Amino acid sequence: MPLSRPWAMIFGLLLPATTLSTCAPPEPEAEEAPAEPSAPTRVVAIGDLHGDLQATRQALRMAGAIDAADRWIGGELVLVQTGDILDRGDEEEEIFSLFDDLKTQAEAAGGAVHVLNGNHELMNAYLDFRYVTDSALSSFGSGIEADPPDSLLASVDPGERARAAAFRPGGPVAQELASRPTGLVVGTSLFVHGGILPEHAEMGLDEMNRSIQAWLRNDDPQPEWIRGDRSPVWSRLYSDQPNLAACDTLSWVLNTLGVDRMVVGHTVQPTGITAFCGGRVWCIDVGMAAHYGGRPEVLEIRGDVVRSIR
C-alpha cells in the first residue's frame, strides 16, 4: 500500500480582517489581526475501528461521508477518527488506505478528514505487537526490507521484523503516523483518543503534538508521558464513569483550552455513545469492531447540537 501522502492537520477558511478608517490627518495603518478559522457546519467523529473494514465502511456511510463505492460524498463535512485503527483485526492496511484516499477527496470537495493517533498506533511504534493478529503481522509492512537486520531488529522475533521496520520511529509507517495529531480542536470541540489532562493543557496541544511527532520521525526520544494512565492516549479519567472530581478536572482543561467539549474514544461504552459531566465529554468508542461485537455508531456535531447517529 502506498503510504506517501501526507495527512493534513490544519483546516478552515480565513475570514477577512476588518479595516477601520480614521479622520484626517491619517494615522499609520494598523497591522491586521490574525484571522480566525471558521467553524465547520457539520463535524462527525468516529471511534475505535480495530482492523474491521466492514464496520469502518458502515460508520462512514452512516456519517454521510461515502457512497456504496467508497467515494467521498460528504462535501464540506469535517470527519474526525479518534485513533485505534490498528490491532485486534486483520484489515488495518485497507483502512489506512481508505482514509488516505478520502482525505484527498474531501479536501477537493472543501471538507476534511482527520485521523488521530490512539494508544494502539503508538504501541506499534514502540514495537508492542501483543494485539496484532497473525494476518496483519504478516501483511502490514511485508514490503519493508528488514534484512539484514540492525541491532534493534535483530532483537525482534524474525516473524515481526518487517512490521517492526515499518512501525519503529523513523520507519515508513511511523512517518505517516507522525503526520497525524494526537489532540485536535475543531470548532469548539477537542478530540483526543484517551483524554487531555491538566499537564497536557499546560504543555499546550501544539507542543504535545510536536513531541509525539518528533519521536515518531526518530528526531527526539520517546516522551516519558506517552505511556501509562496519565497519557493522552491511555487515560480513562473521563470515559470510565467519571466522578465529580474528574468532571471538575475536565472543566478546568476545557476552560484552559477555550473549548466547550471533549470527544474521546479508547473505553468501550456497552450501551453506545455516552455523554458524561453534563455533556462536556462524549465517549464514542462503541466497540464496533468484530473483536468486540458492537455495532457502528457515530457522533454528529452541528454548532451546539451534539447527537449520536446509529
pLDDT value at residue 138: 87
- pLDDT tens digits, one per residue of 188-200: 999 999 999 999 9
- State the Cα–Cα distance between residues 105 and 115, nearest whole angstrom: 15
Count of other CB atoms within 10 angstroms of residue 304: 9
- State the Cα–Cα distance between residues 46 and 44, nearest whole angstrom: 7
Query: Is residue 58's pLDDT more than 90?
Result: yes
Interval 60-87 mean pLDDT: 98
The mean of the pLDDT values for the chain is: 89
- pLDDT tens digits, one per residue of 252-288: 999 999 999 999 999 999 999 999 999 999 999 999 9
Residue 43 in grid coordinates: 463535524
Instruction: Give 124 or 33, the one with higher predicted confidence.
Output: 124
120 part of the active site: yes
pLDDT value at residue 17: 34
Query: Is residue 7's pLDDT more than 50?
Result: no
Instruction: Check: pTM over 0.85? Answer yes or no.
Output: yes
Choose, from 50, 114, 120, 193, the residue flagged as catalytic: 120
